[in-house]
Amino acid sequence: MNIGKLTDEQLEDLVLSRLPKLSENTLSGAGIGADCAWVKVGENLMVTSSDPITAGGAKAGTLAIHVSCNDIAACGIHPTGILIVIIAPPSASEEDIKDIVVQASDEAKALGVDIVGGHTEVSGAVNNFIVISTAYGIAAKGCSVPLGKAMPGDKLILTKTAAIEGTYIVANEHADKIRGKVSEEHITEALGYSELISVVKEGSLCGKLKSSTGKVREDGFFYSAVDLMHDVTEGGVFGAAFEMADFSNCGVVLDKSKVPFTECSRAICSALDLDPFRLISSGALMIATPEADRIISNLKLNGVEACVIGEFTDSGRKEYIDLDGKIKILPPPAADEIYKV
């Protein structure tokens, strides 16, 4: 099989179609385009998600906290706690394990998230560190939560810039492959992108912003001003846009010319012939909303840059406007560009 995430077809056939029926306490499970499950806990709701770090290298502990906490934030909820599983290769030292734990602890403390448990072992089944994190958050009754799917007419917003995590991973793990092809200033800048990988701030901000319609769900929760959010992980901007539309049973048109990248990301992707639109981009958050101006204004007031890069449609087609202005088919998610490095 190919390295990387399963295709949507494989995921449906090999995994999702074989899972048991959900109980009445689980409002929705994770699926294609939705990384989190929503579970009733008394009058409150708990949202939870798991993610592995397989290509994080020396910063696996840092990334493990952010990828799972980002999923919770993409539901408009601030993460409460996290569990971490560390599988170390036999070649690892005690210092290596300690470094990962310290990294994770530092990031969790900065986000205000408790590390409540997990597991650590050394296994000959792996050649490199694998760190798996499971995060959760609680939505108290009366707060606002997203609708849960994008709607035709919703604008597609991207926060920060695309290719953040991929740029960082290349500079941190494969600097030898770009040194001499890009400036040292760009490598230094890319190493600092580890500070940009969290979307907890923007996700929480958007989740708290109640819909201007004032609508209340049957369970007493308000609808937020965003319909659906998705952090941009493996598969990059293209993959995230496709997954959001597919999950929502609607179409999407993404405009490549409106997707922001730093010059640093462009330079590093060019040096390694990587497609930045398909490169892992943790740190960027995609938002489907009927109130784009209000969302962007609120984010910018809180120091988060954001812009509209597309729109959801009722056509059912997943498309993108290429840089030459031609409309093309948006491909389904495939192996991330980072695996080419």
pLDDT of residue 1: 85
Arithmetic mean of pLDDT over the chain: 93
Q: Which of 159, 74, 151, 157 is nearest to 312 (CA)?
A: 151
Angstrom distance (rounded) from CA 128 to CA 294: 44
pLDDT given at position 29: 85
Percent of the chain at pLDDT > 90 equals 77
For 208-260, how does the pLDDT look when each residue is reduced to its tens digit (9 = 90+)? Answer: 999 998 888 877 889 999 999 999 988 999 999 999 999 999 999 999 999 99
Reported as a pLDDT band with limits 50, 70 and 90, residue 33 is low
Cα 85 to Cα 6, 53, 313, distances in angstroms: 21, 10, 40
Q: What is the pTM of this model?
A: 0.88
What domains can be seen in the chain, in order of their start residue? Answer: 8-141 (3.30.1330.10), 145-340 (3.90.650.10)
Each residue of 146-181: pLDDT tens digit?
Answer: 988 999 999 999 999 999 999 999 998 899 999 999
Per-residue pLDDT tens for 286-316? 999 999 999 999 999 999 999 999 999 999 9
Closest CA to 114 of 74, 69, 75: 69
Cβ-count burial 30-43 (b if 16+ within 10 Å, e if not)? bbbbbbbbbbeeee
